[in-house]
Amino acid sequence: MLTKILITVAVIIIVAIVFRTKAAPTRSSTVEPPDERGTLSVRGVTYALLGILLLIAAGIFIIKFQADNKIITIRVISDDGISTVYQARQKTIKGRHFTTLDNKQVTLGESDRIEMDGR
């Protein structure tokens, strides 16, 4: 996730540098007054895009973080009918293995049945 953000920031910086070198004014003998009506500066647009991209990246990071840390109640029912209830974070559930909130490693057997409730 961090690499995606760094790549995006690197691309924005490269584009800003390219625009800056291409927009370097040439020295001419006549000076024209700048037209201030309705012009956008490249710097302003670049900063605006950078800000928008950083806000989007931060939003995606926060949403992913909240989803990964959501607490799931797992009910394991063995083949002889014994039911055990565990709680684990969403990010620790890997197929038939998970780690509970109190750091117990649980591996389910082939005949175990599970019910998950992620309120």
Q: Which residue has the tokens 């057997």?
A: 109
**pLDDT tens track for 61-110:** 999 999 999 999 999 998 888 999 999 999 999 988 999 999 999 999 88
Global pTM reads 0.56
**When comparing pLDDT for 30 and 66, which is higher?**
66
Question: Whole-number mean pLDDT of the chain?
Answer: 85
User: What distance in Å separates the CA atoms of residue 87 and residue 78, rounded to the nearest whole number?
Assistant: 17
**DSSP secondary structure letters along the chain:** -HHHHHHHHHHHHHHHHHHHHHTPPPP-SS-PPP--TT---HHHHHHHHHHHHHHHHHHHHHHHHHHHT-EEEEEEE-TTS-EEEEEEEGGG-BTTEEEBTT--EEE--TT-EEEEE--
Quickly state the pLDDT bin for 29 (edges 50, 70, 90). Answer: low
Quickly state the pLDDT bin for 36 (edges 50, 70, 90). Answer: low
Query: Where along the chain do its domains lie?
Result: 2-28+35-68, 71-117
